Each structure stands twice: as C-alpha cells, then as structure tokens.
Copies of this chain bind each other. A is one copy, B any other.
Amino acid sequence: MAKRVTDKTSSPERRSPCPVACALDVFGDRWTLLVIRDLVLGKTRFKDFAASPEGIPTNVLSERLSRLLAHGIVSQVSASEGSKHLAYRLTEKGRALLPILGAMRDWGLAWERGTRAHLGEAATIG
C-alpha cells in the first residue's frame, strides 16, 4: 500500500499558487541569483561561477546549475567549436529574471552601505 504524502504529480511541491512563493521555490536561496548575476555579467563556465568573490561551494554550484537546467532557466551549449566542454547560457526564461536582479541591485545600493555594482550602472541590468 503506497503511502501518499503529497500529490507531487501535478506540480512538484508547490506551496501555493502565489507567483512569489513559486518563484522562491525556484531561486529562493542565497546562491542561485548570484549564479544568474554571473551569467548576466557574461560568465558561462563552472570555474567562472566558482571563482566569484562570494565563493560558492562547488557542490552547491553543481546542484544549483542542474536545478536551473531542470527549470529551463539555463541551457548548455558547446563552450567553443570542437570543444567538448560545456558553457551555460541564460534562456529567455532566465533573461526574464533581469528585472528582479535589477530591483535587488537598486535596493542594495540604496539601503545597504558599502555596496557597489559590478553590474553596469543602469544599462546592463534593469
């Protein structure tokens, strides 16, 4: 007899139909949006994300990248012609996160002292 804990068939572990809650289920943690930020800044490789100043642990990076792949937020392409290494790129769904990143950058700059944008002032993001 199968023990039904929750119906994860229709929508795997969605807490509510709220779009904010749903978004947080995808990227509601301390690292995911930093990977997105790096992608926006032009980084494409595992080692590049790992080299960011915040120092994401590689196991966390690995898990986050596969989650983003699973959610269709990033895709993998060949790093360069003939290369067997892979590069990560934002999909359209991933690029649609730009306004969120822009709003967060603006809030941080306005309210948290000592912050500086490596993201281009207004053009790149937001």
Contact = CB atoms under 8 A, between A and B. Distances in A.
Interface of A: 10-11, 14-26, 28-31, 33-34, 37, 52-55, 93, 96-97, 99-112, 114-119
A112 to B, nearest CB: 5
B105 A19 contact: yes
A99 to B, nearest CB: 4
A30 B19 contact: no
A80 to B, nearest CB: 28
A24 B15 contact: no
B99 A106 contact: yes
Given A24-B33, A33-B28, A104-B23, A116 B17 contact: yes
